[in-house]
Structure 1
Amino acid sequence: MKGLILAGGTGSRLRPITHTGPKQLIPVANKPVLEYAVEDLRAAGITDVGVVLGHKGREAIQSFLGDGSAYGVDVTYIVQGNPLGLAHAAGCAREFVGDDDFVMYLGDNLLNRGVGELVEHFESGDYAAAIALQHVDDPGAFGIAEVDEAGDVRRLVEKPDDPPSDLALIGIYVFSPAVFDAIEELEPSWRGELEITDAIQSLLDDGLAISSHVVEGWWKDTGKPGDVLEANRLVLEDLDPADDGTVEDGAETTGRIDMHEGAVVESGAVVRGPVSLGAGVAVEEGAYVGPYTSVGAGSTVASTHVENSVIIGDADIDASGRIVDSLVGSGATITSADEVLPDGQRLVVGENSDIKL
């Protein structure tokens, strides 16, 4: 079995962060989202991985993954070009997949329990596809599956007014090569895209069996700033912290703190976990880094209260206010202004920004 990670898309909902980089490389707990997908595939025994790229962010993703050997996989890059839908992206991988079955994984998704159980469901019978599902509170906002008592899919409905269930497709699939013939027969939807739900429904219409698996644990699509912060919180809750940094005498630390090589919590600083401090991070005297915060490599936090935030890296934060629920881009500088500060700041800050608070 092969793996296929979709890493195209424009990341429009994460602007300005994605003006200068792909959304799949935004870090959660100081690890790019894309890396979690690669790890999930490898954990399921899948080491031959295709990565579908769009026009934007191609070089950055290729530079990050390389040939895949650093992550225990063999990576092949496939260029989709214009984003014409998930089914179009899958169709671009036909030559790479060949006659093999494959897992298709949206590169901005995070799963608590990986893809192993979904693969097992697919391999347990004579299925043309298997889809990962999760119960949701607002099924009208998702593609919804109607399944029978055995979990086999009866039909799919995209954002229904009258949902047949609360089981939403979450963007993880297993396919046999039969899906490629279905994709070739598709017509663009009203969005001008080739929809993967239409391809799966075509397999059903042809009498082929589709399995489903309801995902245990949490799932997160990291497509918006709030989703990134929520994913960061969820991962930090379960993180097995590293202890490769230094806590100086006179520093106050409590809870689980994930410290990468060269990270320093200086005397007079306070860090309360769960927190992740990337390589070379300095938390200086007078700074407070509170729960559910990830500070990216090379960043400095001084004289500032930061909580429930993701600082992507190489940032310089030295402001007398409070930064909460914020996503701060790489290379950003945040300092104090002369004006009276409000009690807290909510920020989404793009790369190389220079902000005075």
Structure 2
Amino acid sequence: MKALVLAGGSGTRLRPITHTQAKQLVPVANKPVLFYGLEAIASAGIEDVGIVVGDTHAEIESAVGDGSAFGLNVTYLRQEAPLGLAHAVLIAREYLGDDDFVMYLGDNFIVGGIDGLVERFRAERPSAQIMLTKVLDPGQFGVAELDADGRVVGLEEKPREPKSDLALVGVYLFTPLVHEAVSALKPSWRGELEITDAIQWLIDAGHQVQPTQISGYWKDTGNVTDMLEVNRLVLESLEPRVEGDVHDSELIGRVIVEEGASVRGSRVVGPVVIGQGSVIEDSYIGPFTSIARDCRVSRSEIEYSILLSRSSIDGVRRIEASLIGHDVEVTPALNAPKAHRLVLGDHSKVQISS
């Protein structure tokens, strides 16, 4: 069995962060989201991985290399434009050959990995195996419709009128039969070759498509809200350790201070991770905060946030629920009047700290 990891796409929902960085490399708990997926694939006993890359190929290739750091053999497959998940399968046809494969979306995060899913597929070997989970906004995802016996009868990508609340999680398992389905597709109304249409083709042709509803945790980390939530979840599972220097400071709960980091005159309430070379001084770092390497936080408060490498926060009263990019400087506005400038739509609700 091989794996096909999708790491193209422009990451429009994470702009401006993704103007200068691949969305799959934005870190949670100081590790790129893509790395969690590669680790899950390796844990499932899969060694050969094709990574579909687009405009950010150089950055992803530099970060992942040949895959040996993960125990994988990585091959890169160029996609000229993000033309749909099924298009990624189409361009990977030669690489995949006649092998079964798992397709994993590189910006998805699944707690507990995919070991059980892969084992079940290998044992029962349906034509396709899909993961489903209930969501509040199914129109934003591929949606599955099941009959009374729990069989998949219909699939639709981002429907205007969803027929269920069951969304397809970004992990799929296929036999080589899917290539016949993909070759028969035409672009959808979105102008893409949809993997949901390929799976529907298998259903219509009488082939077995096996659904698995997951009760664990899954997130598509395509926006800031979900990135922060995944960061929270990962931090909760980390074991505390202090390898850097801590002076005149209070560390409470699960706090990681990596080698070369320094915490002085500060209070840190975990779970928190402070990356290599970062300096925290005279500050408060609150729960569910990840501070990457070579950052500086001085005379400030930050909580439930992600701070990327080489950024600094100096003299800022409080920051929360924020994603701050690389090489950013955050400071107080000098001589600015205390006022709020707002543009609000109908029925808005706003909470302002006065």
Both structures adopt the same fold (TM-score exceeding 0.5): yes
C-alpha contact (below 8 Å) 2:253/2:270 kept by paired residues: yes
- Secondary structure of 2:132's aligned partner: strand
Report the RMSD for the aligned CA atoms in angstroms: 1.9
Q: CA deviation at 1:151?
A: 4.7
- CA distance in 2: counterparts of 1:287 and 1:278, whole angstroms: 16
Report the counterpart of residue 195 of structure 2 in structure 1: 196
Matched, 1:261 2:259: yes
Distance 1:343 1:172, change over 3 A: farther
Q: CA deviation at 1:59?
A: 0.7
AA at the equivalent of 1:303? R
How far does the alpha carbon of each residue in 1:12-53 deviate from its partner, in whole angstroms, 9 at most, with x for none? 111110111100000001000010010110111111111000
Distance 1:181 1:44, change over 3 A: same
C-alpha contact (below 8 Å) 2:316/2:330 kept by paired residues: no
C-alpha contact (below 8 Å) 1:232/1:292 kept by paired residues: yes
Q: CA deviation at 1:141?
A: 3.5
- Secondary structure of 1:81's aligned partner: coil
AA at the equivalent of 2:259? E
AA at the equivalent of 2:253? G
- Secondary structure of 1:232's aligned partner: helix
Matched, 1:19 2:19: yes
Question: Aligned pair count?
Answer: 340
How far does the alpha carbon of each residue in 1:301-339 deviate from its partner, in whole angstroms, 9 at most, with x for none? 111101111001111211232111111111111122223
How far does the alpha carbon of each residue in 1:150-187 deviate from its partner, in whole angstroms, 9 at most, with x for none? 65422213344654432210211001111111111100
Matched, 1:283 2:283: no
- CA distance in 2: counterparts of 1:4 and 1:343, whole angstroms: 51
C-alpha contact (below 8 Å) 1:30/1:296 kept by paired residues: yes
- CA distance in 2: counterparts of 1:101 and 1:342, whole angstroms: 61
- CA distance in 2: counterparts of 1:101 and 1:336, whole angstroms: 55
Matched, 1:75 2:74: yes
- CA distance in 2: counterparts of 1:101 and 1:19, whole angstroms: 35
- CA distance in 1: counterparts of 2:179 and 2:338, whole angstroms: 55
AA at the equivalent of 2:123? S
C-alpha contact (below 8 Å) 1:87/1:194 kept by paired residues: yes
- CA distance in 1: counterparts of 2:12 and 2:159, whole angstroms: 25
Distance 1:51 1:304, change over 3 A: same
- CA distance in 2: counterparts of 1:18 and 1:163, whole angstroms: 30
C-alpha contact (below 8 Å) 1:49/1:76 kept by paired residues: yes
Report the counterpart of residue 325 of structure 2 in structure 1: 329
Report the counterpart of residue 302 of structure 2 in structure 1: 306
Identity %: 51
AA at the equivalent of 2:226? D
- CA distance in 1: counterparts of 2:39 and 2:332, whole angstroms: 40
Report the counterpart of residue 352 of structure 1 in structure 2: none
Report the counterpart of residue 249 of structure 2 in structure 1: 251
- CA distance in 2: counterparts of 1:264 and 1:342, whole angstroms: 34
AA at the equivalent of 2:266? A
Report the counterpart of residue 353 of structure 1 in structure 2: none
How far does the alpha carbon of each residue in 1:270-304 deviate from its partner, in whole angstroms, 9 at most, with x for none? 111010111111111x1111111000011111111
Matched, 1:57 2:53: no
Within a 5 Å distance, the mapping from 1:43-122 to structure 2 comes to 43-54=43-54, 56-122=55-121
AA at the equivalent of 1:230? E
Report the counterpart of residue 354 of structure 1 in structure 2: none
- CA distance in 2: counterparts of 1:103 and 1:241, whole angstroms: 34
The correspondence for 1:295, drawn from 279, 291, 304, is: 291
AA at the equivalent of 1:274? P
- CA distance in 2: counterparts of 1:247 and 1:106, whole angstroms: 39
Report the counterpart of residue 274 of structure 1 in structure 2: 271
C-alpha contact (below 8 Å) 2:156/2:197 kept by paired residues: no
> TM-score under structure 2 normalisation?
0.91
C-alpha contact (below 8 Å) 2:29/2:273 kept by paired residues: yes
Q: CA deviation at 1:146?
A: 2.5
Matched, 1:143 2:142: yes
Report the counterpart of residue 33 of structure 1 in structure 2: 33
Distance 1:66 1:141, change over 3 A: closer
Q: CA deviation at 1:117?
A: 2.0
C-alpha contact (below 8 Å) 2:99/2:176 kept by paired residues: yes
Moved more, 158-167 or 41-50: 158-167
C-alpha contact (below 8 Å) 2:79/2:91 kept by paired residues: yes
Report the counterpart of residue 344 of structure 2 in structure 1: none
- CA distance in 1: counterparts of 2:197 and 2:145, whole angstroms: 14
- Secondary structure of 2:297's aligned partner: strand
AA at the equivalent of 1:48? D
